[in-house]
Amino acid sequence: MTRLNGKTAVITGGATGIGLAAAKRFIEEGAFVFIFGRRQDALDAALVELGANARAVQGSVSDEADLDKLYAAVKTERGTLDVIFANAGMGSLLPLGKLTAEHIDETFNTNVKGTIFTVQKALPLMGEGGSIILTGSSAGTTGAPAFSVYSASKAAVRNLARTWAEDLKGTGIRVNVLSPGATATELAKAAIGEEGLKVFASMNPLQRMADPAEIGAAAAFLASPDSSFMTASELAVDGGLAQI
């Protein structure tokens, strides 16, 4: 498939998990991809898998200077940008009664502030036909025990797409949310553990966790012209968890 032939994409949180799976799929479909992440070792390992049509930039979405470095690299090598997959995110379990300011700040700085500036700083490089994809979560709709701050941050991401679709009227740039359910990534395992993932998997009608490649395939759809009449939408790839 060549739905993304000649397009340039940025994927934050692109070295592992959903981001890496999306990068692989984008490249398979013809895109040139910049992956962005905090760990240089993970970025280096990802580049070995991704091959010649990928570049890596190290940094954090919560640091505006790092984002400036990312888009400077894109502009220097490619000139313009067609797809931004604002995928970097984090979350950890902490119930009401034990929440801390540090926990709230860390989650919102990455998931909300990081998403905002990832997109805002990309706009000067984007034009008509551009696609912005935000990573949401089924937790942004349903909530989850001890996951209130993460869930709230993903609900905020969902609403960013609604308001940005209005802000982007007349530009030809679309913005949509991709909301996975329980996905078998290393980040998810670290956040809630293997047993926690099994619990979440048992809650959806398909009775399993998603493979990251399944989420990557959905991201490729939103990046491509196949979704050209979609904006402000949420694409749930959650095994039905938040739909019943």
Q: Which domains, and CATH codes, for the chain?
A: 8-237 (3.40.50.720)
Residues tagged active-site? 150, 154
Which amino acid, one-letter code, is at 136?
Answer: G
21 contacts 212 by C-beta, under 8 angstroms: yes
Q: Tens digit of pLDDT for each residue in 177-205?
A: 999 988 888 877 776 677 777 787 888 99
Strands 8-12, 83-86: pairing kind: parallel
Query: Could you tell me the pTM of the whole model?
Result: 0.95
Calculate Rg over the CA atoms of the chain.
17
How far apart CA 156 and CA 147 sit, in angstroms, is 14
Q: Tens digit of pLDDT for each residue in 205-216?
A: 999 989 999 999
162 contacts 134 by C-beta, under 8 angstroms: no
Higher pLDDT, 184 or 67: 67
- pLDDT over 90, % of the chain: 84
Q: Tens digit of pLDDT for each residue in 138-166?
A: 989 987 789 999 999 999 999 999 999 99
- E-assigned strands of 52-158? 54-58, 83-86, 131-135
